[in-house]
Structure 1
């Protein structure tokens, strides 16, 4: 039976058709960073204090300073308390001035913010004082949406196809993302953000599948091009959040562009490799012929006639990942790899406000460093292979976080530089793990496995915002937690098999990636010693069987 890799040789490893496809699936990823960390810029701390307008009933002519001086206690530093006020009393103004107020209470009537301040998520929903934890909880709910999306769309993509899941996810993100701009209540906002997280997860895992399955041995380059759009989105995020301070307008600007992609319904193809695994051979032939025509190639009719479904057409189960001996070690190590990757990546990204420098400049640097980080993977994976690259990058990202814990807080430049290096290695490691997981898993269960890995990453994403408040006890605690798992898991990655230069496996029986025909032909042309004559015969027999 002709293997699908042979069609990639005829079609072109990374021809114009595949490049156009990569361009299409990359466009939605430009908005991904806005969904991931855009909220950080909507909840920036602003000066605030309790609403004490009650005293205006007895002293309508008081100046603002007099009002605050009579109704707000002062802290040890002499500044007005932001989260407490003196309890209201039924005295006249002269009595209040003469005796003063002593009993304090929480801000029961709300808070007052600086006049002229653009409306932000923090000021509109009062995410301050005892409500400040709702900021991190809201971010965790979005991450929980990513987790749900991985659960739902990972297996669904293996069953109904990559194309419908990708289109559904774009639609959900567009409608519910735009809906967040009109949320009347914080809990409505959280619910919409959860659905957006589900949609973003669907886009991420299906774009990985399409980029992997439509390209030959150049698939790392294809996947990393899509990831470069994530990096470009990080840079655009810094400019967008700097220019648009109204959080509702910011939500509109970050989601409305998705509606311009409605034409994907007609131009986005299904994965031909997935169609073959499902036994939908005629559909696969049509898609392959269309791609060949676009690439100005011709697929020989006799080659098309040899295109048959893989022997195992039944969808793989998530249990196969743990019951099959050759997959068990792979999936367990990849699960903890994605978890550690996500923990350090989001831990650094969401801590952008705590490094001591201007938040917009720091975000610009974080975004700018992602582009070379993604691009460098193209060369790192080619020179050192998947296994070494994954392990070393993960180790370095964790070490940077651990080193920062020993730097004094009065050295913001040093801390920021180390954080940028950590972001570089964490980003490159994240890109590597996407490519590595897609190559290690067979097509019949690839999206289920990638979805499971994504679930593991999203659990870390849910935890990352909840770990940040631990800085109240000690500044080093969050970064110590973010940095420790990557160091340990990086060592485990050395136990994984290498996949560089191998073709993708399609069914569970051939779960270990196989050398492509082109590689066999190159080996067959080499001279062997007499001791290697049998090996040469085996190679020729393998070629003849195709």
Structure 2
């Protein structure tokens, strides 16, 4: 029986067809960074104070400054308190002016934003004072969506196909991404963000599955990292888009609607030939393989196609297998620590772009600017130094940058930002390395069940194709 790897070699391991495919599946990744960190630019800090219009009932002719002087306490710097006000009293204006107000309370009638900026998430849903934590909760819920996408859509792609899940995920991301711009309540916003996160996870998983299943073993890391470069380009677009569109609802539409321009994928995006073979759809697999060979200007020997038979479907993987086998347990614990560390640094720096003391748009431009060289350089670093050394050094450098930042005085914003940019560069490269490393370490029969997995594709350890006998691999370890 023909090995599928022989067919890919005959088609061309990374010919024009595969390059066009990687381009197609990478285009939606341009929008993913916006969904991840776009909220940072919708919740920029703005001056605010409690709404104290209650005093207008007894002093309708008060100027704004007089109203604030009478109703708002001041902090140690002499500025009006942002989250407290003097308690309303049933006095006339002369008594208030003569005796003043002493008792304070939290803002009870909302807030006022004097800057008159375009509507933002912060001003529209009052994400200040006691409600400030809702911003972080929203980001956490988005991360939950990413996890749900890995848990649900990864296995689903094994059942209904990579192409179907990829297209469904794109549709869901577009629909709910645009729908977010019309939400009336912040809790609805958070729920929709969770759905968008789920869809994004589905896009990442199936995009990388399609790329790696169509590419030869020696070129798979290159295909993965090229798609990551598109994700990096998306990061560089965000500051310009956010700077030009200050209304958060219009910005949300601008960052989500372009996915609908890719509707033609319904007709041009191919299914994974490997998946078709596993599912016994041999004739369909032959057609897409012959089409790929034609575009690559290659010819598949007829005897190879004639010998193509349905592959034995491996027994469904169980995540508990990762903890039952001694070797897999060791690998799993190490990679869990690795993923935790790199995710903490990468997302921590990315979502803290507004807290380094410099202009948030310029800081994000620098953060986005290092993403592309970081991911592109991994193509060569992994070839020259291997996965283990590259990952270890990158993790060490990113962690070191974060530790140094802690000791930098708060007034040294430039130094802090430079160190954060270096940390972002190394964390980004480490993040891309983790995808390639994980796919090659874990047997693919269970890799699609883990959040960090790329896809249920061929994986190699020491040059051995693990997918040819996943169960044997598990037993042997």
TM category, shorter: over 0.9
Correspondence for 2:75: 75
Correspondence for 2:157: 157
| Deviation for aligned residue 1:336 | 2.7
Equivalent residues in 2 for 1:361-380, closer than 5 Å: 361-380=362-381
Task: Please list the CA deviations of residues 202-231 of structure 1 after superposition, one character each: whole Å capped at 9, or x if unmatched.
Answer: 111111111111111111111111111111
**Residue ranges of structure 2 left out of the alignment (5+ in a row):** none
Task: Please list the CA deviations of residues 469-527 of structure 1 after superposition, one character each: whole Å capped at 9, or x if unmatched.
Answer: xxxxxxxxxxxxxxxxxxxxxxxxxxxx9847665634314649xxxxxxxxxxxxxxx
Task: Please list the CA deviations of residues 81-118 of structure 1 after superposition, one character each: whole Å capped at 9, or x if unmatched.
Answer: 11111111111111111110111111100000025311
Equivalent residues in 2 for 1:417-428, closer than 5 Å: 417-428=418-429
| Deviation for aligned residue 1:328 | 3.8
Cα distance in 1 for partners of 2:186, 2:274 equals 44
**Secondary structure at 1:114 match in 2:** coil
Contact map agreement 1:385 1:498 (CA 8 A) in 2:
no
Correspondence for 2:407: 406
| Deviation for aligned residue 1:38 | 0.5
Cα–Cα, structure 1 residues 446 and 306, in superposed 2: closer, same or farther, change >3 Å?
A: farther
Cα distance in 1 for partners of 2:464, 2:36 equals 33
Correspondence for 1:242: 243
Cα distance in 2 for partners of 1:358, 1:180 equals 27
Contact map agreement 1:13 1:215 (CA 8 A) in 2:
yes
Equivalent residues in 2 for 1:171-250, closer than 5 Å: 171-216=171-216, 217-250=218-251
State yes or no: 1:505 paired with 2:438. Answer: no
Correspondence for 2:126: 126
Correspondence for 1:394: 395
Cα–Cα, structure 1 residues 330 and 11, in superposed 2: closer, same or farther, change >3 Å?
A: farther
Q: Between Structure 1 and Structure 2, how many residues are aligned?
A: 470
Correspondence for 2:356: 355
| Deviation for aligned residue 1:130 | 0.8
TM-score (norm 2): 0.94
**Secondary structure at 1:134 match in 2:** helix
Cα distance in 1 for partners of 2:145, 2:240 equals 26
| Deviation for aligned residue 1:453 | 4.8
Answer with 297-306 or 105-114: which moved more. 297-306
Cα distance in 1 for partners of 2:300, 2:116 equals 66
Cα distance in 2 for partners of 1:31, 1:206 equals 16
| Deviation for aligned residue 1:319 | 3.5
Cα distance in 1 for partners of 2:421, 2:461 equals 29
| Deviation for aligned residue 1:278 | 3.2
Contact map agreement 1:158 1:444 (CA 8 A) in 2:
no
Cα–Cα, structure 1 residues 504 and 242, in superposed 2: closer, same or farther, change >3 Å?
A: farther
| Deviation for aligned residue 1:439 | 2.5
Cα distance in 2 for partners of 1:100, 1:387 equals 68
* RMSD across aligned positions (CA): 2.0
**Residue ranges of structure 1 left out of the alignment (5+ in a row):** 456-496, 513-546
**Secondary structure at 1:505 match in 2:** helix
Cα–Cα, structure 1 residues 504 and 214, in superposed 2: closer, same or farther, change >3 Å?
A: farther
Contact map agreement 1:150 1:202 (CA 8 A) in 2:
yes
Cα distance in 2 for partners of 1:55, 1:229 equals 55
Cα–Cα, structure 1 residues 318 and 41, in superposed 2: closer, same or farther, change >3 Å?
A: same
Task: Please list the CA deviations of residues 234-278 of structure 1 after superposition, one character each: whole Å capped at 9, or x if unmatched.
Answer: 000011111111000000000000111111111111111223333
**Secondary structure at 1:105 match in 2:** strand
Contact map agreement 1:380 1:389 (CA 8 A) in 2:
yes
Cα distance in 1 for partners of 2:278, 2:74 equals 70
| Deviation for aligned residue 1:326 | 5.3
Cα distance in 2 for partners of 1:179, 1:498 equals 42
Equivalent residues in 2 for 1:249-264, closer than 5 Å: 249-264=250-265
Cα distance in 1 for partners of 2:333, 2:246 equals 43
Contact map agreement 1:393 1:428 (CA 8 A) in 2:
yes
